[in-house]
């Protein structure tokens, strides 16, 4: 390349004027004023705290029913235990050959299945194992679709925020939240606590309950880099077989009607508690160090020399913390007998499923044709006003809760709680005063399936 030629090339790419540009670039740097935490004041009809399994559905329902809705989520995405916790296995929407939970949760799940090119299990045949009717979903897609649907419904999503105080003043809730560089005051008519931990209920001054010993949490991961079938299991201590096997279960894609698989492996995290940053940090640390040690150990076994971790969920998923003391407490017996309440606003179907000391699972199955139901009163803390909850903190005894907490039921509760909140806001009353038939009508209009009262 000749001299002239090179100069014209340099000019063309703008380098010929490098010398001339330098001062301008330097000038672009300005001294900024110190980082300031700004204050903001917002007003809304319905405030939902916690954008997890139940909260996402509640927010979409409230928005679609026409209420001004704000959703605050302390994390960075929607879905909670389903996505951030990695439990991408929602269930159970069908029982005994019929759909029993529908509406917004089901819409999201089926959209997710379709967009991922997956297939739904054949729900017409009751399966031999309940989990075969859970739906395996792509968690990433779920996060994206949930957010899209919230935005479409006009929901104001606020990530990275959490309430610092909750007060009922002159018939309205005043909630202060703290986020990254922002303090917000939100004034609203109705609150729905979907934190999973009943945190807002407690902050608002209503009673919450907790077992002396809670079920362990789980940190979900995937490992690979070895061939389970080729392993000589006689050379590997028995307690590790299931860890190695669990991840292989993923590959058992069924050709039969129940097109589903178990999407993960996990380590138990005893006493995991997500109700404060400190306790959740501890649960994450414990889970991660247990997993790291496990990986180190597994790699010492013959055939596992190249074992690798392929996926690790963002945080330890938590099974059990606090429950509200509600206007009605669903009992173990109510659940197993499939009691249908006058104010039943959602079905629920799952076995009693208690993880004891992180070692065994206690299960009790519902008899044929039995489906449990959830009364609206179980979503309303005693003595509360303009306040509801949805999700695993539903008012229930421990055994009933171990079944009620599952994702389809949590979604059903989210939709119902929002319907009650929207109507309470419209009618200027507390959720308990809204005629339950109005709540049921609104739920039905948005696809919720109501228990059949005889």
Ligand X SMILES: Cc1cc2nc3c(=O)[nH]c(=O)nc-3n(C[C@H](O)[C@H](O)[C@H](O)COP(=O)(O)OP(=O)(O)OC[C@H]3O[C@@H](n4cnc5c(N)ncnc54)[C@H](O)[C@@H]3O)c2cc1C
Interface positions with another protein (CB under 8 A):
60, 63-68, 89, 94, 97-99, 102-104, 106-107, 123-132, 149, 152-154, 218, 238, 241-242, 245-246, 249, 254, 256-258, 262, 351, 353, 355, 359-361, 363, 444-447, 449
Of the pair 89, 106, the CB lying nearest ligand X is at: 89
Q: Which residue of 132, 149, 392, 440 would you call a contact of ligand X, by CB under 6 A? A: 392
Q: Answer with the entry of ligand X, another protein, none that 242 interacts with (C-beta below 5 to 8 A by kind).
A: another protein
Distances (CA, A) of 90 to 2, 54, 308, 445: 68, 12, 27, 23
Helix (H, G, I), strand (E, B) or coil at 46: strand
Q: Is 189 in the site for ligand X (CB under 6 A)?
A: no
φ, ψ dihedrals at 438, nearest 5°: -65, -45
Binding characters for ligand X, 5-44, by CB under 6 A (x = yes) = ----------------------------------------
Specify the residue, 163 or 451, whose C-beta has the smaller distance to ligand X: 163
Q: Which two tokens stand for residue 238?
A: 């028995």
Residue closer to another protein by CB (options 23, 368) is 368
51 interacts with ligand X by CB under 6 A: yes
CB nearer to ligand X: give 65 or 200: 200
Tell me which residues in 419-448 interact with ligand X (CB under 6 A): none
Report the site for ligand X in 146-165 (rule: CB under 6 A).
162-163
Residue from 199, 386, 395, 401 touching ligand X (CB under 6 A): that is: 199
The neighbour count for residue 25, using CB atoms within 10 Å, is 9
- Which of 46, 65, 72, 436 binds ligand X (CB under 6 A)? It is 72
| Token pair 């606020």: residue | 158
Residue 381 has a CB neighbour count (10 Å cut-off) of: 25
Least Cα distance to 357 among 243, 204, 211 occurs for: 211
Rounded to a whole number of angstroms, the minimum distance from the CB of residue 311 to ligand X is 15
Q: Return the H-helix or E-strand segment holding 261.
A: none
Tokens of 439: 């709540």
User: Least Å distance between CB 80 and ligand X?
Assistant: 3
Cα–Cα distance between 439 and 198 in angstroms, integer?
23
Contacted by 51, from ligand X, another protein, none: CB < 5 to 8 Å by type: ligand X
Residue 52 binding partner per list ligand X, another protein, none, with a CB distance cut-off of 5 to 8 Å that depends on partner kind: ligand X
**3-class DSSP state for residue 266?**
strand
Whether the CB-CB separation of 379 and 417 falls below 8 Å is answered with yes
End-to-end CA distance of the chain: 91
Which of ligand X, another protein, none does 39 bind, CB closer than 5 to 8 A by kind? none
Candidates 27, 159, 54, 50; CA nearest to 108 is 54
Q: Which residue has the tokens 């929002």?
A: 418
Query: How many binding residues for ligand X (CB under 6 A)?
Result: 38
Site string for ligand X, 115-134 (x = CB under 6 A): -------------------x
Helix or strand run (H / E) with residue 305: none
**Helix boundaries (H) for 299-358:** 332-337
Closest to ligand X by CB, 63 vs 85, is 85
Measured distance CA(237)–CA(59) in Å, rounded: 48
Nearest residue to 123 via CA among 115, 113, 268, 40: 113
Q: Between the CA atoms of 302, 308, 310 and 311, what dihedral angle is there, to the nearest 10 degrees?
A: 90
Decide if residue 196 touches ligand X (CB under 6 A): yes
Q: Residue 90 touches which of another protein, ligand X, none (CB < 5 to 8 A by kind)?
A: ligand X
Identity of the residue, 174 or 262, whose beta carbon is nearer to another protein in the bound complex: 262
Question: What is the closest distance, in whole angstroms, from the C-beta atom of residue 130 to ligand X in the complex?
Answer: 10
Minimum distance from CB of 166 to ligand X (Å)? 10
CA–CA distance, 89 with 349 (Å, rounded to integer)? 14
Write the DSSP string, 131-158. Answer: GGGS----HHHHHHHHHHHHHHTT-EEE
Candidate list 190, 218, 395, 401; residue touching ligand X; CB under 6 A? 218
263 binding ligand X? (CB under 6 A):
no
Near ligand X in 286-305, by CB under 6 A: none
| Least Å from the CB of residue 448 to ligand X | 16
Beta strands in 50-180 (DSSP E): 69-73, 94-95, 98-99, 156-159, 162-169, 172-179
Q: Give contact residues for ligand X (rule: CB under 6 A).
A: 49-55, 72-75, 80-82, 85, 87, 89-91, 134, 162-163, 194-197, 199, 217-218, 317-319, 391-392, 405-407, 410
């Amino acid at each position: 390349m000749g001299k002239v030629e090179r100069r014209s090339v340099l000019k063309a790419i703008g380098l010929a004027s490098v010398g001339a540009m330098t001062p301008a670039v330097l000038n672009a740097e300005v001294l900024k004023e110190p980082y300031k935490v700004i204050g903001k004041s917002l007003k809304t009809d319905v405030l939902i705290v916690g954008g997890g399994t139940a909260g996402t559905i509640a927010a979409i329902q409230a928005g679609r029913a026409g209420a001004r809705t704000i959703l605050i989520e302390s994390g960075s995405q929607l879905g909670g235990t389903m996505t951030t916790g990695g439990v991408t296995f929602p269930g159970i929407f069908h029982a005994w050959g019929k759909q029993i939970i529908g509406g917004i949760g089901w819409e999201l799940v089926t959209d997710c299945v379709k967009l991922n090119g997956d297939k739904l299990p054949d729900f017409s045949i009751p399966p031999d194992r309940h989990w075969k009717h859970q739906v395996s979903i792509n968690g990433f897609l779920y996060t994206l679709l949930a957010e899209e649907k919230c935005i479409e419904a006009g929901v104001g999503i606020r990530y990275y925020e959490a309430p610092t105080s909750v007060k009922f003043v002159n018939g309205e809730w005043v909630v202060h939240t703290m986020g990254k560089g922002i303090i917000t005051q939100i004034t609203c008519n109705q609150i729905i606590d979907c934190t999973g931990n009943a945190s807002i209920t407690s902050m608002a001054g209503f009673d919450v309950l907790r077992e002396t010993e809670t079920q362990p949490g789980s940190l979900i991961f995937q490992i690979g880099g070895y061939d389970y079938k080729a392993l000589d299991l006689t050379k590997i201590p028995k307690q590790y077989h299931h860890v190695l096997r669990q991840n292989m279960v993923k590959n058992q894609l069924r050709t039969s009607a129940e097109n589903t698989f178990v999407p993960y492996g996990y380590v138990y995290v005893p006493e995991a508690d997500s109700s404060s940053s400190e306790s959740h940090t501890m649960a994450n640390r414990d889970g991660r160090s247990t997993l790291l040690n496990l990986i180190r150990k597994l790699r010492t076994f013959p055939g596992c020399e190249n074992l690798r971790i392929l996926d690790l969920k963002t945080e330890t998923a938590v099974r059990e913390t606090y429950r509200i003391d509600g206007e009605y407490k669903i009992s173990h017996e109510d659940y197993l007998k499939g009691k249908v309440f006058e104010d039943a606003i959602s079905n629920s179907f799952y076995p009693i499923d208690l993880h004891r000391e992180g070692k065994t699972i206690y299960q009790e199955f519902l008899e044929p044709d039995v489906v449990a139901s959830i009364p609206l009163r179980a979503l309303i803390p005693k003595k509360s006003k303009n306040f509801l909850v949805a999700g695993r903190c539903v008012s229930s005894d421990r055994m009933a809760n171990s079944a009620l907490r599952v994702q389809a039921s949590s979604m059903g509760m989210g939709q119902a709680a929002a319907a009650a909140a929207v109507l309470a806001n419209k009618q200027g009353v507390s959720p308990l005063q809204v005629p339950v038939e109005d709540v049921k009508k609104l739920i039905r209009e948005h696809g919720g399936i109501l228990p059949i009262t005889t």
